[in-house]
């Protein structure tokens, strides 16, 4: 653990942000930087409070384009974005969630189980748009550059695209909720995915009434945010080489 990261001297936008340092050559302006940091800090997993009105096509295209500009191993761009607005498709997905959620609740003892069941964990029907982000491991041919030793990098790239989408949605005032309480096999059937294509994320998107000031699980005391200093290590896991 690196002690100095315990202290939030680096608070974004704080007086010490520039210090006496010369601006680095390719550094963004202060305003541009704050746009990025604000998006990162104010992004939330939005599960409820979706307003019903649809997302304009031009805005949807912008956030999809943002996702598509993530880096990918060997430039393979393994992602697809399935836009789901149809009520029947959504209802099928919602049923898959309900089943998985009932099973998931059983692993908790009371009073945790009641707390779990009291939380709204998805907005499949309320969100005007759902997006399934998939990963096609065959994209880019059999010898994707850089994927020889770690084939899972196709999935990693897809997740980077999802984070871009999430941040772009936030600056547009759109909330995104990632529904992970789903059977992947059932989802593949409903969305008629080819056997080799993985559904990586099922996202619910729309304009929310509000963004919470902190993650819901932090707010309700489910888990605490870890201090940054506890998760930053020096040189090796056991830090034997720490200078």
Residues 35-54 that bind its own copies (CB under 8 A): 35-41, 43-45
By beta-carbon proximity to its own copies, the closer residue of 137 and 172 is 172
Binds its own copies (CB under 8 A): choice among 100, 125, 137, 212 = 100
**Secondary structure class of 56 (helix, strand, coil):** coil
- Contact pattern for its own copies over residues 18 through 37, marking x by CB under 8 A: -x-x-xxxxxxx-xxxxxxx
Binding residues for its own copies, total number by CB under 8 A: 130
Q: How far is the CB of 32 from its own copies (least distance, A)?
A: 3
- Distance, in Å, from the CA atom of 130 to the CA atom of 70, rounded to the nearest integer, reads 20
Alpha-helical segments (H) within 87-135: 87-105, 112-118
- Distance, in Å, from the CA atom of 37 to the CA atom of 35, rounded to the nearest integer, reads 6
Is residue 95 within the footprint of its own copies (CB under 8 A)? no
In the range 154-193, which residues lie near its own copies by CB under 8 A?
155-156, 159-160, 162-164, 166-168, 170-174, 178, 180-184, 190-193
Burial class (CB in 10 A: 0-12, 13-18, 19+), 53: exposed
Binds its own copies (CB under 8 A): choice among 52, 110, 149, 213 = 149
**Secondary structure class of 101 (helix, strand, coil):** helix
Binds its own copies (CB under 8 A): choice among 75, 91, 95, 98 = 75
- Distance, in Å, from the CA atom of 49 to the CA atom of 166, rounded to the nearest integer, reads 17
């Amino acid at each position: 653990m690196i002690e100095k990261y315990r202290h939030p001297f680096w608070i974004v936008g704080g007086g010490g942000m520039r210090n006496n340092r010369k601006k680095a050559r390719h550094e963004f302006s202060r305003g541009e930087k704050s746009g990025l940091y604000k998006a990162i800090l104010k992004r939330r997993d939005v599960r409820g409070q979706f307003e019903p009105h649809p997302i304009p096509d031009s805005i949807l295209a912008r956030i999809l384009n943002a996702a598509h500009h993530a880096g990918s191993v060997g430039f393979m761009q393994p992602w697809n974005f399935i836009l789901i607005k149809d009520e029947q498709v959504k209802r099928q997905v919602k049923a898959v969630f309900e089943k998985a959620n009932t099973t998931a609740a059983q692993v908790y003892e009371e009073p945790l189980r009641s707390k779990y069941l009291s939380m709204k964990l998805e907005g499949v029907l309320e969100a005007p748009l759902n997006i399934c982000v998939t990963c096609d491991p065959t994209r880019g041919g059999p010898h994707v550059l850089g994927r020889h030793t770690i084939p899972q990098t196709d999935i990693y790239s897809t997740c980077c695209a999802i984070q871009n989408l999430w941040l772009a949605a936030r600056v547009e005032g759109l909330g995104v909720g990632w529904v992970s309480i789903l059977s992947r096999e059932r989802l593949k059937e409903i969305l008629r995915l080819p056997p080799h294509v993985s559904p990586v994320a099922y996202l619910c998107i729309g304009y929310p009434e509000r963004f919470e000031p902190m993650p819901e699980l932090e707010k309700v005391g489910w888990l605490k945010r870890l201090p940054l200093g506890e998760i930053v290590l020096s040189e090796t896991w056991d830090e034997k080489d720490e200078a």
